[in-house]
């Protein structure tokens, strides 16, 4: 476990070096902000606007799955109470205001992976849009000093599990 924690901290520090590259920091701040939900809700609204009532069922399923993700991530954060990297490692530069106090798991990544899997299941042609955005959101979290890589990995696994379980129902 010590080796894993060492790896987690080392990669957190490496990725956080991106904060010193102005255009990279700006891009990840945008991805992080859009990953707060703005991108996903705008995408669902656009789907409804362009396709009408035919997509109401899939959009509601996607949004309901996102709600389940929110419940799970809030429950986990309240129990794990893991401090954010910038709170523990003095050399971490923080690049955005966190939405809550704790680090584990990354809710942004959890939601991005779940929304992407759900979206692509119903609208496969949107993979070109959602997967690069999901990757940008996931990378933004340690680059901005808000999460350890393990928080991001856990968020991705949980988001995928919730989406796949929802799709199997």
Coil, helix or strand for 93? coil
The pLDDT tens digits of the residues spanning 40-77 come to 999 999 999 999 999 999 999 999 999 999 999 999 99
Q: Is residue 57 part of a domain?
A: yes
The pLDDT tens digits of the residues spanning 97-145 come to 888 889 999 999 999 999 999 999 999 999 999 999 999 999 999 999 9
Q: Is residue 2 part of a domain?
A: no
Q: Is residue 5 part of a domain?
A: no
Q: Is residue 144 part of a domain?
A: yes
Helices assigned H by DSSP within 17-123: 22-33, 39-51, 56-80, 85-88, 107-122
DSSP string for 116-157: HHHHHHH-GGGHHHHHHHHHHHHHHHHHTTS--HHHHHHHHH
Q: Is residue 4 part of a domain?
A: no
Number of Cβ within a 10 Å radius of residue 19 = 19
Q: Is residue 123 part of a domain?
A: yes
Indicate the number of domains in the chain: 1
Do residues 117 and 167 lie in contact, with contact meaning Cβ atoms separated by under 8 Å?
A: yes
Distance CA 161, CA 165 (A): 6
pTM of the model: 0.94
Q: Is residue 109 part of a domain?
A: yes
**Residue numbers of the domain that contains 53:** 12-168
Q: Is residue 22 part of a domain?
A: yes
């Amino acid at each position: 476990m010590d080796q894993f924690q060492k790896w987690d901290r080392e990669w957190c520090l490496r990725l956080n070096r991106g904060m010193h590259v102005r255009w990279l920091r700006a891009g990840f701040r945008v991805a992080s902000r859009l990953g707060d939900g703005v991108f996903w809700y705008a995408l669902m609204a656009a789907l409804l606007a362009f396709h009408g009532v035919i997509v109401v069922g899939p959009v509601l399923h996607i949004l309901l799955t996102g709600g389940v993700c929110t419940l799970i991530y809030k429950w986990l954060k309240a129990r794990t109470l893991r401090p954010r990297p910038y709170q523990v490692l003095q050399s971490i530069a923080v690049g955005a205001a966190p939405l809550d106090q704790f680090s584990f798991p990354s809710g942004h990544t959890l939601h991005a992976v779940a929304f992407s899997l759900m979206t692509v299941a119903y609208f496969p042609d949107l993979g070109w849009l959602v997967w690069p955005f999901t990757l940008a959101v996931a990378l933004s979290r340690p680059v901005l000093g808000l999460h350890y890589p393990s928080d991001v990995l856990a968020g991705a696994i949980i988001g995928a599990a919730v989406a796949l379980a929802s799709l199997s129902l």
